[in-house]
Amino acid sequence: MEWITGKRGLSEDVSSLLSKAESGEVSLFMSAINAGEVYYFLRTHHEASLAESWRESSGTLPVAIEVPSREDIWKAAALKSRYPISYADAFAAALAQKHACQLVTGDPEFRAVKGLDLYWFDK
- What is the full per-residue pLDDT of the chain (123 aa) written as tens digits? 555 555 556 677 888 889 999 999 999 999 999 999 999 999 999 989 989 998 999 999 999 999 999 999 999 999 999 999 999 999 999 999 999 999 998 889 999 999 999 998 875
Please name which of 89, 105, 116 lies closest in space to residue 2, comparing C-alpha atoms. 105
Q: CB-side exposure of 96: number of CA atoms within 13 Å?
A: 21
Maximal C-alpha separation, the chain: 38
| 3-state SS, one letter per residue, for 56-112 | HHHHHCCCEEECCCHHHHHHHHHHHHHCCCCHHHHHHHHHHHHCCCCEEECCHHHHH
Q: Which tens digits make up the pLDDT trace of 3-14?
A: 555 555 667 788
Tell me the CATH number of domain 10-120, given options 3.40.50.1010, 3.60.15.10, 1.10.3720.10, 3.40.50.2020: 3.40.50.1010
